Chains A and B, each alone.
Chain A
Amino acid sequence: MQPASKGILRSLMPHLFLLMGCVVMLLPFLWQISTSLKGPGEVFTYPIQWWPSSLNWHNYAKLFEAVPMTRYIFNSLFVAVLATGLELLISSLAAFAFARLRFRGRDQLFWLYIATLMIPGQVTLIPSFIIIRELGWYDTYQALIVPGAFSAFSTFFLRQYFRRVPRELDEAARIDGASSLFIWLRIVLPLSKPALAALMIFSFLGQWNSFLWPLIVTISPEMRTLPIGLTAFQGEFGVEWQLLMAGTVIATLPVIALYAIGQKWIVDGINLSGSS
């Protein structure tokens, strides 16, 4: 073989390998979209139909008639937005306290925080459920939002970032008479935008995709988030796959859109958490 063609082959190899991988990665999405647009007789056929003969967009309309999709979508959005906002607020305040304030037992408390990172969620699942029940929050929005808003990981992540903000800035502000709250809001937070953006996207994705916790603390159809609604739908209408796939498309689209917009921060965020 000629050296030149060998070079081309060598440079094409990774592309071929990666393209094959892409087909594997994208095939399920293709199947999902194609099924969601199929007619009732086209889902289970042999030979298989890769693409529907005509696009049945009304499957999506039918889905909204069959189940309270609007309610599911609202619940998912409402919970994800509020929980994310609350999580950012709480963890940035706590992280600020750990990074900047001096108080007794600060370091011990911080290590307690870190220690909780090691504990799998399964351990706190049952007690958290019992606490929710005792508070009378079972099957309410509070149950879906509040526990998820306290995150030791976010606190740790933000603390590491806050420590990179030059201390001279807040010392200067303090000499000018600024309060801690002012420093947190006007100096540390604006300088930590990349970390906050990454965290915001991560926790929104986490909340939107959350499955086990909403499964446990909700019972009534009115409180279901999208993932729970979809599994319930499968139980009730197990046969109507084209509608179910339409539902999964609706559950998937927002996260993919968010990912497309926030990709830069996500990659930076992964690198940040990997290095800290």
Chain B
Amino acid sequence: MLGVLVFTVFPVIFSLIISFHKWDLLTAPEFVGLKNYISLFTDDLIFRRVLENTLVFLIVLVPSQTAISLLLALALNQNLRGMSIYRTIYYLPVVTTIVAAALIFQIMLDFDYGAISGVIWQIGDWLQLPLQPPDWLNTTLWAKPAVIMLTLWKNVGFTTVLFLSGLQGIPAALYEAASIDGANAIQRFRYVTLPMLSSTTFFIIIILVIGAFQLFGEAFILTGGGPAYATMTVTQYIYENAFKFFRMGKAAAISWVLFVAIFAFTLLQVRLQRRWVYYEMEQ
């Protein structure tokens, strides 16, 4: 218990204090008030870039991962033979080390000789067309999609298993009742599955939003945050400020901005959930 206090509660307060200082770990910290925070939002162009990147990752990753894993879970929930084999395969990337996953993607997305480029060049040769694969890792346009692909590949199994367990909790009697009332498959999905699944969906969206804010290893290893900061995430920016440039105060300030952002987004969703999340208890 003391441990949690030493490694969590105390650091939180300590980190807030650091964020009001200028400190390089070598000389004594100097109190600068809110300066770290103010400069982040006024004259730090990289930080603005980092926020834009985070917003893009958030807007793309949350809906796409939710949709893909819901589709996969619906397909898995058909009482298929071999369901557990499918589930195992979809979960494999989740347990894989992010370092390994990112390195594999790095070689697969290589512009000249990667597997993806190779396939595209090959198709181009066959069709006699000058097909040009995207230069995933070296252009600002394609670096974000590369990070997004890696993140989806790595994490989609986790949310699929969550959705699947949600789907399996829906009583079959509800579907039977809906069928008797003449509901077709789409109506059953719209009026039985979606409402009964809404608390699972709510939980998944919350963790996906938090995950998008905290993205790190994916971009850090795959693209190093580049090119031209196109995939720099908040966490990497904290890491670089603290451990490359030894700006502890600034790094702590960024971590508090991140905390407040996550907190605000989560609170917003908890507020919004009353409109769309259905709880059986209320009935």
Interface residues of A (CB under 8 A from B): 11, 14-15, 17-18, 21-22, 24-29, 31-32, 35, 43-48, 90, 94, 97, 109, 112-113, 116, 118-131, 133, 146-147, 149-152, 155, 205, 208-209, 211-212, 215-216, 226-227, 230-231, 234, 241, 244-245, 248, 251-252, 255-256, 258-260, 263, 266-267, 270-271, 274
Contacts and interface: CB of A to CB of B under 8 A. Distances in A.
Nearest to B163: A274
B91 interface: yes
Contacts of A151: 4
Given A17-B75, A25-B90, A112-B9, A126 B99 contact: no
Residue of B14, B96, B119 with most chain A CB atoms under a 10 A cut-off: B96
Interface string B1-31: 1011011111110110010000001000000
B161 A270 contact: yes
Contact of A131 (B7, B100, B239): B7
Contacts of B15: 123-124, 126-127
Interface stretch (B50-58, B138-146, B171-179, B214-222): B214-222
Interface in B57-78: 71-72, 75-76, 78
A248 B210 CA distance: 28
Contacts of A26: 89, 92
A127 B10 contact: yes
Given A118-B263, A126-B15, A131 B1 contact: no
- B interface secondary structure, majority: helix
Contacts of A263: 84, 88, 91
B96 A252 contact: yes
B268 to A, nearest CB: 14
Interface stretch (B38-46, B108-116, B271-279): B108-116
B5 to A, nearest CB: 8
A130 B100 contact: no
B165 A274 contact: yes
A152 B9 CA distance: 11
Interface in B240-262: 242-243, 248, 251-252, 255-256, 258-259, 262
B88 A260 contact: yes
Given A22-B89, A122-B258, A131-B7, A31 B235 contact: no
Contact of A48 (B76, B99, B101, B119): B119
Interface residues of B, number: 80
Given A15-B80, A248-B99, A258-B95, 8 more contacts: A18-B86, A122-B234, A125-B255, A126-B11, A128-B11, A205-B95, A226-B99, A230-B99
B246 to A, nearest CB: 11
B162 interface: yes
B12 A119 contact: yes
A123 B256 contact: yes
A93 B114 CA distance: 50
A18 B95 contact: no
B237 to A, nearest CB: 10
Interface string B94-108: 011111110111011
Nearest to B261: A120
Contacts of A216: 239, 243
A116 B217 CA distance: 23
A123 B78 CA distance: 43
A116 to B, nearest CB: 4
Interface of B: 1, 3-4, 6-12, 14-15, 18, 25, 71-72, 75-76, 78, 80, 84, 86-93, 95-101, 103-105, 107-108, 110, 112-113, 115, 118-119, 121-122, 153, 157-158, 161-162, 165-166, 200, 203, 210, 213-214, 216-217, 221, 234-235, 238-239, 242-243, 248, 251-252, 255-256, 258-259, 262-263, 266
A245 B86 contact: no
A223 to B, nearest CB: 16
Contacts of B87: 267
Contacts of A94: 1, 4
A18 B88 contact: no
B165 A270 contact: yes
Nearest to A14: B75
Contacts of B91: 259, 263, 266
A119 B259 contact: yes
Contact of A231 (B4, B166, B221): B221
A251 B14 contact: no
A112 B2 CA distance: 12
A44 B113 contact: yes
Given A119-B12, A216-B243, A244-B103, A147 B7 contact: yes
Contact of B11 (A18, A24, A131, A215): A131
A118 B100 CA distance: 28
B104 A32 contact: yes
Nearest to A94: B1
